[in-house]
Amino acid sequence: MSGPLGKDLLGLEPLTGDQIRLILDTAEPFKEISERAIKKVPTLRGATIVNLFFEPSTRTRVSFEFAEKRLSADTVNVAASGSSVTKGETLVDTARNLEAMRIDMVVIRHGASGAAGFLAERIESNVINAGDGTHEHPTQGLLDLLTLRDHFKRLDGLKVCICGDVLHSRVAR
């Protein structure tokens, strides 16, 4: 699956302003869909997505799983603690084994900065970065942008201050 944004979502910096607006404009109607009695749409029907989490995460993992299911994708959750990684299998071997099962996309959360990009270069499936070390968490950044746009009705000209430990925060990138 490749579209106007390319094969993978690894970070926000490579995206143009128009591409970010396209993502936000596409996401906007799903807020209303989430309020309906029937929250499913057929957008990803037939797609298989693996959530590959090498770090504990509740909000990010569950958010992806809910979104995938609401888009009608088949979803498989793999925690590193319950996989062959504990026996020494590498990240690439794990992904290639999953790819052999004809998956379409991997959502990865990993403690090593650059892990999502490393994986994307080595597999054919689409890769979405759900946070890699202190590098980046692009989907959180997009959610933050959507929230800002909803509140202020614009993004252009806004100044944002991020407080806390930004040196070790993938969200601040």
Q: Catalogue the active-site residues.
A: 59-60, 87, 109, 137
- Cβ neighbours for 98, distance < 8 A, ≥ 6 positions apart: 50, 52, 76, 78, 106, 125
In a domain, 11, yes or no: no
Dihedral sign (CA 97, 71, 136, 3): positive
| CATH number for 157 | 3.40.50.1370
- For the chain, give the percent of residues with pLDDT over 70: 94
pTM of the model: 0.90
Q: What is the pLDDT of residues 94-104, one digit of tens each?
A: 888 989 999 99
Q: Which amino acid is at 53?
A: F
In a domain, 67, yes or no: yes
Task: Domain count for the chain, please give it.
Answer: 1
